[in-house]
Structure 1
């Protein structure tokens, strides 16, 4: 169900921040002008750089105007006190609303949660949820089991720390894995982390856009069962890429999922 009235938005508006948005434009021709813009939204600890490294220019080379943003407190975006999941959703909605045409929203990890919540507020052409972290007790238990040292401090308001082995598959060269992992910096956002662990509500999308769930059965952050539940929510099955880690957009075979996503968009829109 989608809410029409949102009294919290009026009574307690989200604090504005400067947001980082990176852009890659396709070569101009008549066919490309008909394609919708694609907005990439990274999750906790990742900024626009995580998509600019590989997927941003590749999407543009396939004819899609491509944009990658950083949520507040991430990448080149400004931080704000008492950041909440509502603030992350606000960031995505505001950036999407400023794009030249109705956009496709692609979110990764907790960025996929922000996209799922934005779909209830913004009439997107389509949504793509990549390795979505939707939160709830199951998320906390999985994180504690697979990364206890990095997760336990987050339960008490500290910073979540993600291990390199969680983010990438074994095929990615060690030097590249170290380089990318060094850029992953989770900001201090205890309210958002606690809300995530509590299991935030997700409303139905407005306008019934097509929604695709993408992931890996070998993801050490999001179990396969969670991928299947997320896909069922939108009436489908997840598109899986074995052997890849959580950060499929940076892993060794990064081109496979983005090409599959863009092929799906070409068929669905």
Structure 2
């Protein structure tokens, strides 16, 4: 039996302050009530814009009401230079709870860890963890190997600067890669430090099905970390070789999204 925490003393004593949140939405031309709404959550430094590029409209085209939230301090949401991971998870839960029906939560990168924490507080229809960054020394070691000078400052409270080869495959045209890199911001130093500490998320409320997707060629998430996260949720990762970490922006972006939507349809979540 899965145990669920009813009282979180810290949340009661130090509640997360309110913040203005950006939410972008794409709705299908013909609404289908058999398909749950999908809420996309970006990784650190990204915003809802990363899903608005391709995934929102594509999901809507397949009959899913698609939403993307920028947690505080990201995208066009309210700045939050001292935000913690629980504040990001709070933003996700608040937006999900405001949707008209029980939603599927989809998180990418460190946003997958945010979704994992949100799943412990919101009874989601299902969860999807895309290229999940759950922290730990293996992830830090890989990041240092591929981007030493961009990663090292984050370990000491500075800004994490991601490199093109970490995020995208060579198939993505260079002008598009440069534009995406220009738009990437930063999470709060506190949230970055919490990610390195890698506190395991609590068990999901209601034991929803959880799918893990990623790429064996990820230069941010080691393959061993993908396997570990997938095992935690009772499965194996669905892999897309040849893609970069930013699955929703890379050249073959339709493949992982269609696989996610297929999984939702076939599982009748």
The answer to whether the superposition gives a TM-score over 0.5 is yes
Unaligned runs of 5+ in 2: none
Q: How does 1:70-109 map to 2 (within 5 A)?
A: 70-109=70-109
Superposition deviation, residue 28 in structure 1 = 2.3
The answer for the alignment partner of 2:12 in structure 1 is 10
Q: How does 1:156-195 map to 2 (within 5 A)?
A: 156-187=156-187, 189-195=188-194
SS at match of 1:68: strand
- Equivalents in 2 of 1:140, 1:223: separation in Å? 10
The answer for the alignment partner of 2:232 in structure 1 is 233
SS at match of 1:250: coil
The answer for the alignment partner of 1:27 in structure 2 is 29
Superposition deviation, residue 71 in structure 1 = 1.1
Aligned residues of 1:136 and 1:200 also touching (Cα < 8 A): no
1:25-48 deviations in Å (ceiling 9; x for gaps): 00125xx12211000000101000
The answer for the alignment partner of 1:126 in structure 2 is 126
- Equivalents in 1 of 2:110, 2:233: separation in Å? 17
SS at match of 1:212: strand
- Equivalents in 2 of 1:248, 1:45: separation in Å? 15
- Equivalents in 2 of 1:22, 1:82: separation in Å? 24
- Decide whether aligned partners of structure 1 residues 170 and 125 sit closer, same or farther in structure 2, where only a CA change above 3 A counts: same
The answer for the alignment partner of 1:199 in structure 2 is 198
Query: Which 4+ stretches in 1 moved above 3 angstroms?
Result: none
Superposition deviation, residue 142 in structure 1 = 2.0
The answer for the alignment partner of 1:260 in structure 2 is 259
Aligned residues of 1:41 and 1:115 also touching (Cα < 8 A): yes
The answer for the alignment partner of 2:221 in structure 1 is 222
Aligned residues of 2:16 and 2:87 also touching (Cα < 8 A): yes
- Equivalents in 1 of 2:143, 2:56: separation in Å? 29
Superposition deviation, residue 70 in structure 1 = 0.4
1:211-233 deviations in Å (ceiling 9; x for gaps): 00000000100011110111010
* TM-score normalised by structure 1 residue count: 0.96
SS at match of 2:190: helix
Superposition deviation, residue 91 in structure 1 = 0.9
SS at match of 1:40: strand
- Equivalents in 2 of 1:172, 1:83: separation in Å? 32
- Root mean square deviation, CA, Å: 1.0
The answer for the alignment partner of 1:138 in structure 2 is 138
The answer for the alignment partner of 1:248 in structure 2 is 247
Superposition deviation, residue 263 in structure 1 = 0.3
SS at match of 1:34: coil
Aligned residues of 2:215 and 2:243 also touching (Cα < 8 A): yes
Aligned residues of 1:15 and 1:80 also touching (Cα < 8 A): no
